[in-house]
Amino acid sequence: MLRGSRTQWSGVALFVVTVLAWASEGAFAQFTGYVPPSSELIPMGTTKGQRYSRLIIMNATIVDGRGSPRANRGMPAQGPIDLIIENGVITNLILADPVNLGRIRDRGWQERPGDHVIDAAGMYVLAGLYEMHAHLPSPGGTGVNAEYLYRQYLGHGVTTVRDAGTGAGMEVMREQRRLSAANEIVAPRLVLCQRWPLPLRRWDVGHTPEEARLMVRKFKELGADCVKISRSPGHYPDVMEAATDEAKKLGMHVMVDLKVSETDAVVASNAGVKSIEHWYGVPDAALPGSQNFPPDYNYWEELDRFRWAGALWKQADQYPERLTKALEILIANGTSWNPTMATYMENRDFWRSRTLPWFETLAHPDILAGLYPDAATHGAYKTEWKTSDEIMWKENARLWMKWIKQFHDMGGILTAGSDEATTGGMAMIFELELLQETGIHPIDVVRIATTNAAKVLGWEKHCGIRVGCVADLAIVNGNPLDNFKVMYGRGYGFYGIVPREEQAKHGGVRWTIKEGIVFDAQALLKEVEWYVQQERRRLAAEDRGSGAGAR
């Protein structure tokens, strides 16, 4: 197998420098073909959420995120309906279709007015989305920061984000969680999982069941809502069982990224883990022996790890009865599955992932830099990526999706998450598209991304669009059940279909409502565009000042 030689890395470095040079304001316009007019931009920090004592959303077509308690059958769209929201809670749903409206008028009944009204005629109202696998950066400063990502999430209808291990530290994010809950910052609701092992280079911490329990108690003291077990020693079966048991006693849940581990999904599920992340551990549980790794395979060589992960589902699919039995155990134990397909799909079409339309205005230049190989960066492993790799991964994705659909059809609890640390809401909408690609009906995809997630988190009052439920909503300018692309911010679902200068008038989430607080989603994304332009200017000025011509 070819490895990244010094000569190869020199070529890669030169390519990265060239791309970074394009990231300056003028040159980047040539690369993307478009820079938004300054009149369309809003300085970041301008837009605030507004709370109203009595909010009315009129003429809405709702997709409530609810469904049968015994099966994964969701409810179809309903409308027009007027939603009444008081003190952050849905207090009434008034049918405004011709039949019921006529009856209301005949009886002389009239709803008392609200202090703010949104006319959602022609729009679809979904329950607010849950991003169940994020990695939030630190707030403040420059670069890809938390404020930038918060606006991306809210701008795409995401009202709750579960952080699966932040680089900012629990103390910082604990305060961010408080500020968001108090509506003192513009941010989705935050659920914080402390990642373990931390730091990654030390496996002599928490490597016994007794130490694991102490560590989980420490995480609770730090303010963690949950524990993210990422690698050994947390993957030792006895350690995972102890950590999960301790977390349950403290009112926390455990999510696991099993990778290639001695703990597969069945072992983790029997230990009481609440959420299986990605897909590692599920196909492994069906194999009668080891995966058929090549002789020179090395797990810690990331190119090896991610390349040959693409062969796993094909090997497991040879044992459908064993796979089905593994899924049955997960379902019986109430273990959910959060596939996070979005972060892996570049493996089946590498070029597509480098040419996404929204890169032109919504992507921070550091994101573009991160698209290229870097031996020191997790996930930037493509020192080479061949046609054969993409073919293998296309088959891997097909089989993965087949078994996701099987899990869903059997009554398993799926949730939606992207595992993207820099692209926020855009990656989340892509995840919805991928869930539909598995064959799951878009009505059920909405349920997966909303009330299923609330169920995993144990939030009874976050129950979709129903009287008495917390008012978390996304008001979409279009029909996402026909086309999830209409949810991409700034009209990118219509990229190349309408004239570029008209794009922002089409599609996108129009308003995001978090516990009754109304956010202008498009204004927040205009702030993102403003920030991206400011950052390009800053980096270009630094380049000129250094005389290097590039960062």
What does the DSSP assignment read for 482-539? T-GGGGSGGGGGGTTTS-GGGGGGSSSEEEEEETTEEEEHHHHHHHHHHHHHHHHHHH
Other C-beta atoms closer than 10 Å to the C-beta of 172 total 16
Alpha helices (H) along 115-208 = 146-154, 170-181
Question: Is 167 a residue whose pLDDT tops 90?
Answer: no
Is the separation of the CB atoms in 33 and 47 below 8 Å? no
| Burial tier of 447 (Cβ tally within 10 Å: 0-12, 13-18, 19+) | buried
- The architecture (CATH level 2) of 50-125+469-528 comes to Roll (2.30)
Query: Bridge-partner residues for 88, per DSSP?
Result: none
Going by pLDDT thresholds of 50, 70 and 90, the confidence category of residue 378 is confident
Alpha helices (H) along 144-280 = 146-154, 170-181, 209-222, 237-249, 265-270
d(CA 363, CA 357): 10
Higher per-residue pLDDT: 407 or 546: 407
CA distances for 459 relative to 274, 343, 464, 470, angstroms? 14, 27, 11, 10
- Indicate yes or no: pTM above 0.85: yes
Question: Is 10 a residue whose pLDDT tops 50?
Answer: no
Q: What percent of the chain has pLDDT over 90?
A: 75
Going by pLDDT thresholds of 50, 70 and 90, the confidence category of residue 512 is very high
d(CA 240, CA 244): 6
Q: How far is CA 160 from the centre of its chain?
A: 10
Residues 453-475: pLDDT tens digits?
A: 999 999 999 999 999 999 999 99
Going by pLDDT thresholds of 50, 70 and 90, the confidence category of residue 383 is confident
Residues 70-88: pLDDT tens digits?
A: 889 999 999 999 999 999 9
Going by pLDDT thresholds of 50, 70 and 90, the confidence category of residue 527 is very high
pLDDT of amino acid 15: 36
Residues 229-286: pLDDT tens digits?
A: 988 788 999 999 999 999 999 999 999 999 888 999 999 999 999 999 999 999 999 9
Is the separation of the CB atoms in 423 and 363 below 8 Å? yes
What b/e string do you get for 226-235 counting C-beta neighbours within 10 Å, with b at 16 or more?
bbbbbbbbbb
* Residue-range domain boundaries for the chain: 50-125+469-528
Pairing of strands 517-520, 50-51: antiparallel
CA distances for 58 relative to 83, 94, 97, 111, angstroms? 7, 9, 11, 11
pLDDT of amino acid 543: 79
Q: How high is the mean pLDDT of the chain?
A: 89
